[in-house]
């Protein structure tokens, strides 16, 4: 298998403890061997990990790597977003993943932003072309969308508001990705749409994540994983084969790169990248 040396990137979440920070530093160093285009760091619902995201991003920068903080706008004001983003600019960050974000439990009022396209427009108005703005894409549609058409319209709106590229939610059906890209192109939108890849290591965890984000686990895949029961080694071995083959098919079909959801662990992701030729 060969990657054709197309860009890859890796996503982390902000560690909450010193032990977690040390583990993340080790993970980052292990993944650096693949020359990623950038490392991204997530941002909790309602900005609950704001300081942790900034610390993680600055740590990545200090280690000499490109970093892209996530920024969710739901529940935020324009002033609060402006302050956060100005901090990133002051530290020389030039890449942001702009998201609506999930609505935190118990939140009263959605803040001054309702949709990600409003955040993208705000960032462009306030900071011009300083930032490369990445947005989310949903090949299997956002779980809260009214319809497939509404979801596609929302994506197009984000791009027209000023997004430079997109990263997808993870998926296990390559055809869903290719169909999504074709539909976007048919609407006159042509930006890089990078597939988000989720390693398979723990079925119950994967099922929980998928239920929350709306990612479909195809019936045959679900039954195959269920048949392995608690045989962790078999699940991991199968998962490595499957995700590697999926990644290779996506790259062979023209995907502009790959973005890996690492869950702050390097093992499975490293194996997949090595198999792909990175």
Distance, CA of 244 to CA of 237 (rounded, Å):
11
Distance, CA of 113 to CA of 25 (rounded, Å):
34
> How far from the centroid of its chain's Cα atoms is residue 67's Cα?
13
Is-catalytic flag, 11? yes
Coil, strand or helix at 98: strand
Element (H, E) at 99: strand 95-99
Tell me which of 11, 118, 134, 140 is the catalytic residue: 11
Q: Which of 211, 199, 220, 165 is nearest to 272 (CA)?
A: 199
The label of the residue with tokens 């999926």 reads 246
Here the tokens at position 36 are 């990623």
**E strand segments, 119-264:** 132-137, 165-170, 193-197, 258-261
Element (H, E) at 126: helix 116-127
Task: Burial-class residue 25 by CB neighbours within 10 Å (0-12, 13-18, 19+).
Answer: middle
| Residue 172 DSSP one-character state | S
Look at the chain and count its residues.
Answer: 278
Distance, CA of 273 to CA of 31 (rounded, Å):
9
Element (H, E) at 160: helix 148-161
Positions marked catalytic: 11
């Amino acid at each position: 298998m060969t990657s054709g040396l197309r860009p890859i990137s890796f996503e982390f979440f902000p560690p909450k403890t010193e032990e977690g920070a040390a583990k993340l530093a080790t993970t980052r160093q292990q993944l650096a061997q693949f020359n990623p285009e950038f490392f991204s760091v997530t941002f909790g619902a309602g900005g609950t990990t704001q300081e942790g995201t900034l610390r993680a991003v600055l740590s990545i920068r200090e280690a000499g790597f490109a970093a892209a903080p996530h920024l969710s706008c739901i529940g935020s004001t324009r002033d609060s977003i402006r302050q956060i983003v100005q901090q990133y600019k002051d530290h020389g960050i030039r890449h942001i993943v702009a998201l609506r974000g999930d609505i935190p439990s118990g939140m009263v009022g959605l803040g001054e932003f309702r949709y990600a396209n409003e955040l993208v427009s705000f960032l462009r108005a306030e900071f011009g072309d300083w930032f490369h703005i990445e947005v989310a894409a949903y090949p299997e549609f956002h779980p809260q969308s009214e319809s497939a058409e509404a979801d596609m319209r929302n994506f197009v709106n984000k791009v027209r508001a000023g997004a430079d590229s997109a990263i997808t939610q993870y998926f296990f059906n390559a055809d869903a990705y290719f169909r999504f890209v074709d539909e976007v192109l048919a609407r006159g939108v042509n930006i890089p749409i990078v597939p988000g890849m989720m390693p398979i290591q723990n079925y119950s965890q994967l099922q929980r994540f998928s239920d929350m984000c709306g990612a479909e686990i195809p019936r045959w895949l679900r039954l195959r994983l269920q048949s392995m029961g608690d045989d962790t080694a078999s699940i991991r071995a199968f998962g490595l084969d499957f995700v590697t083959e999926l990644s290779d098919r996506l790259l062979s079909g023209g995907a502009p790169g790959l973005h890996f959801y690492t869950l702050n662990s390097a093992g499975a992701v490293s194996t997949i990248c090595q198999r792909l030729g990175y």
